[in-house]
Amino acid sequence: MRSSIVVVSGFVLTIIAACGAAAPPDAIVPEITGRLEDSRIYEASGLARSQLTSGIWWVINDNGSKEFVHAIDTSGARRGEFDLRRSRNKDWEDLASFVADEVPYLMVADIGDNDAKRHHRTLYFVAEPSVEKNSKATRAWQIDFRYPDGPRDAESAAVDVGEQQALILSKRDLPPQLYAVPLRAGSDEPIVATRLGSVRSLRRPRRQEIEFAPEIKSWAWQPVGMDISEDNLAAVILTYEAVYYYARQPDQTWIEALNGRPARIGIGSFKNAEAIAFSDDKREVVVTGEAKHSKLLRIDFNGVTQ
């Protein structure tokens, strides 16, 4: 496994050829485009590109916060927010945007479960509102689901528009497990998610790392965010230490694609990175994290070989 280290604007950027992937021909330079300006966005756990307004991203806070979805621009400046009525933030962990029947939607994934005790999780869906300050929106529908193999924690969710399903990636399993939940359900009863398989392309921690993780409070290998591009042919997974980029062939399933050869870009000292989303370009992503005035990091995968 080859690696190189580049120091850029305070970041130590490690570029690694992972899982047989070729290293990029040139060092990828991450761009810090701004910081989260609004102090009310202090624990950003999910990020999604607006389908209505170019240059706008929606962002949510983690558990314990109110049911607000905030709008920011590429500099991190506040542009609006809305109160998601008829919902509850037990542990909101990810956010996704997609278009169905020509209507843009947001999916809020209430999937966190640190102690693996919750009997079911909830996905909230809302028609994307216009960017305004202090507005309200009512959820269009929700899906309650449980896992087929018992409670587990997850922080990564994305929408597969081709199969009309949400994909959920578990956080604490080694290797992480991928599940599918339909975007629509036939009743109000909780449904059982479908286990699609293990995702083995993420870096597996050494035994010593696992043993010392509670002491140093570092679980760098765990997945904390995920997104799928608008054309449904690319995906990214964020861990505490890196972004993994996957290209999918039209005849591949997502479990096949996510077990392929990703391009892996380390994010170095970006502490508490938790949220990731594609921009308008399916090769460009934005990352932010759980802290007041967290950085917004732009990473461009154009030109990267896999």
Give the pairing type, strands 68-73 and 56-61. Answer: antiparallel
3-state secondary structure of 253: coil
What per-residue string of b and e applies to 201-238 under the rule 16 or more CB within 10 Å gives b? bbbebeeeeeeeeeeeeebebbbbbbbbbbebbbbbbb
Distance, CA of 108 to CA of 123 (rounded, Å): 6
Written as tens digits, the pLDDT of the chain (306 aa) is: 333 333 333 333 333 333 444 444 346 767 899 999 999 999 999 999 999 999 999 999 987 678 999 999 999 999 999 999 999 999 999 999 999 999 999 999 999 998 888 889 999 999 999 998 888 999 999 999 999 999 999 999 999 999 999 999 999 999 999 999 999 988 888 999 999 999 999 999 999 999 988 888 888 999 999 999 999 999 999 999 999 999 999 999 999 999 999 999 988 878 789 999 999 878 899 999 988 899 999 999 886 766
Beta-carbon contacts of 39 under 8 Å, excluding residues fewer than 6 positions away, are 292, 293
Q: Which residues pair with 181 in a beta bridge?
A: 166
Distance, CA of 264 to CA of 229 (rounded, Å): 17
CB of 139 closer than 8 Å to CB of 126 = yes
- pTM comes to 0.89
Beta-carbon contacts of 216 under 8 Å, excluding residues fewer than 6 positions away, are none
Tokens matching residue 185: 């359900």
Domain 3-300 fold: Neuraminidase (2.120.10)
What string of H, E and C letters represents the secondary structure of 107-132? EEEECCCCCCCCCCEEEEEEECCCCC
